[in-house]
A and B are shown apart, each in its own frame.
Chain A
Amino acid sequence: MFAILPWIMAGCDMIEYHPYDARIEGMIDINNRNIARIEENLQGVDTFRFAFITDTQRWYDETEDAVVAINLRPDVDFVLHGGDLTDFGATKELLWQRDILNGLKVPYVCLIGNHDCLGTGEEVFNKVFGDPNFAFTAGNVRFICMNTNALEYDYSEPVPDFHFLDAERKTFPDEADRTLFAMHVKPFDEQFNNNVAEVFEYALRAFPDPICCIYGHGHKLAADDLFGDGMMYYQCSNIKDRKYLLFTIYKEGYEYEVVDF
């Protein structure tokens, strides 16, 4: 009867102190590791391609299928995840998603979504992936990745963080001459700090040659000139819809397509 016990004990994975216990095993600091790979791989390149997936929370099977589909394409240089890897912010959820995404052959980076902020989710996200605001250079394009989940912070932290944007603009690297923005939540969403929506847009447009903004959260495809100023905002549907956005960046200009898998 108790013969099952040692067998169970061998599975140390089964020790959990709490669903939000923030105990992390395995790879951490993933964004920084993968940013190093992206920057090295695409140094001096003026044409490259990346896939944008988002809102993969609690759709592990679909996320796995997306990884397989992207791995089958040799022309994708990296993957950008738009946030909401977890549904409840539970520790295991984020680690399961990390383990699935680690199956990607190309480097990937993850933004933080509002669901990822729940409970101890944000602390776990920061450890596993890195800072909620970060930037990297792919070819000649600077990617500015921002935490825009203002409602989660209830004004306890500046979201979006204009100090971060200001610092990034002032330290814009020489090898880049264009800027692409990524965030989980778009301006005018109820999660966004809409008091600063116009200021936010103004801050983005101050960057060298803004290309476009990409985001998730809304679980459906969208392409809008939100502020009527020519800056396009592209929303990708959640992974449940089995779609990702494929962006091709040329020396001048870009194009994107919706890929079904």
Chain B
Amino acid sequence: MRWLIFSILFLCSVIMTPVHAFEWMPDSLNSLSGKYEQRMYKYHRWWQGLIPSHTVLQYAGSIGFLSAGVGWDYGKRNQWETTVLLGYLPKYNSDKSKLTFTLKQNYTPWSITLKPERLTVEPLTCGLFFNTIFSEEFWVDEPDRYPEGYYGFSTRVRTHIFVGQRLTHHFNGKDKKSKSITAYYELNTCDLYIASLFTNPDYLNLWDILSLSFGIKMQIF
């Protein structure tokens, strides 16, 4: 529960942080004279790195019905992405609706610019994510009532791997609200299903254990 409150507050605070608030900063260290200014510049620069550079809205994909998140792009070509998402899972046939939290690591090896130049395609995105579900019915470690190692797995934390593709539209002009918008889909599967696939080559095939998601990524800067 503490994690849940922390996640919600964290997400709210980063989503609501006005990016423009940081634009007063000078372009380089050289233009600053005083030691105090230089130190302040480095200080702001460091914290600025923690501002998420994109937001994500995703449908399905084993982390909730609808999930929203923020993330950071890095690497020479921004080929690495780390995203955190909060997902909402309606109750369906269970007793309660639930929230989930996802930590996702994404790698995009190629980016192909199409004509017109405002479109780029990323033919492959891949990576892994960890999902935890907030509900008392689930545990990370088995509760004390069980003999040690009774089940030997966590019902709460799932590890997923995924592949996907993307299409990005880059905005230009002064009135743009964000840098670019990306539509993506991904196919993922999780540890439980992979364990099931290998021991049941006849009954299960890869398509049985794949989960599809669709999402939109807004690149802020």
Residues in A lying within 8 Å of B, measured CB to CB: 1-2, 5, 8-9, 11, 13-24, 58-61, 63-64, 87-90, 92-93, 96, 100, 115, 118-120, 123-124, 127, 151, 154, 190
Closest to B131 in A: A18
The answer to whether B63 touches A64, judged by C-beta atoms less than 8 angstroms apart, is no
In the complex, whether B56 has a CB less than 8 A from a CB of chain A is no
Closest to A93 in B: B196
| Closest CB in chain A relative to B146 CB, distance in Å | 7
In the complex, whether B204 has a CB less than 8 A from a CB of chain A is yes
Contact for A18 among B89, B123, B187, B208, CB less than 8 A: B89
Closest to A99 in B: B203
The answer to whether A96 touches B63, judged by C-beta atoms less than 8 angstroms apart, is no
A residues in contact with B94, CB < 8 Å: 20, 22, 120, 123-124
A2-B165, A2-B167 known; A154+B92 contact, CB < 8 A: no
The answer to whether A151 touches B199, judged by C-beta atoms less than 8 angstroms apart, is no
Contact for B200 among A16, A61, A127, CB less than 8 A: A61
The answer to whether A15 touches B203, judged by C-beta atoms less than 8 angstroms apart, is no
| Closest CB in chain A relative to B184 CB, distance in Å | 11
A58-B196, A61-B202 known; A14+B212 contact, CB < 8 A: yes
In the complex, whether B17 has a CB less than 8 A from a CB of chain A is no
Main secondary structure of the interface of A (DSSP, over half): loop
Name the residue in A88, A93, A123 with the highest tally of chain B Cβ atoms < 10 Å from its Cβ. Answer: A88
A17, B99: Cα distance in complex, Å:
11
The answer to whether A22 touches B145, judged by C-beta atoms less than 8 angstroms apart, is no
Contact for A119 among B62, B90, B137, CB less than 8 A: B137
The answer to whether A21 touches B200, judged by C-beta atoms less than 8 angstroms apart, is no
A63, B200: Cα distance in complex, Å:
10
A residues in contact with B64, CB < 8 Å: 17-18
Contact for B63 among A8, A11, A18, A22, CB less than 8 A: A18
Closest to A89 in B: B155
B residues in contact with A20, CB < 8 Å: 94, 133, 138, 155
Closest to B190 in A: A19
A residues in contact with B168, CB < 8 Å: none
In the complex, whether B185 has a CB less than 8 A from a CB of chain A is yes
A1-B121, A21-B92 known; A154+B143 contact, CB < 8 A: yes
In the complex, whether B95 has a CB less than 8 A from a CB of chain A is yes
Q: List 27 A-B contacts (CB under 8 A).
A: A8-B185, A16-B60, A16-B61, A16-B62, A19-B190, A20-B133, A22-B94, A23-B93, A60-B200, A60-B204, A61-B199, A87-B192, A88-B155, A88-B192, A89-B155, A90-B192, A93-B196, A100-B203, A115-B151, A119-B137, A120-B93, A120-B94, A123-B94, A123-B95, A124-B93, A127-B93, A154-B143
A2-B167, A118-B151, A119-B155 known; A17+B89 contact, CB < 8 A: yes
In the complex, whether B46 has a CB less than 8 A from a CB of chain A is no
| Closest CB in chain A relative to B120 CB, distance in Å | 12
A61, B211: Cα distance in complex, Å:
22
User: Which residues in chain B, 165-213, are within 8 Å of chain A measured between CB atoms?
Assistant: 165, 167, 185, 187, 190, 192-193, 195-196, 199-204, 207-208, 210-212
A2-B165, A64-B202, A118-B151 known; A18+B192 contact, CB < 8 A: no
Closest to B122 in A: A1
The answer to whether A22 touches B91, judged by C-beta atoms less than 8 angstroms apart, is yes
A23-B93, A123-B94 known; A59+B167 contact, CB < 8 A: no
9 nearest A-B residue pairs (beta carbon): A60-B203, A22-B94, A16-B211, A14-B212, A22-B93, A120-B94, A60-B200, A123-B94, A22-B92
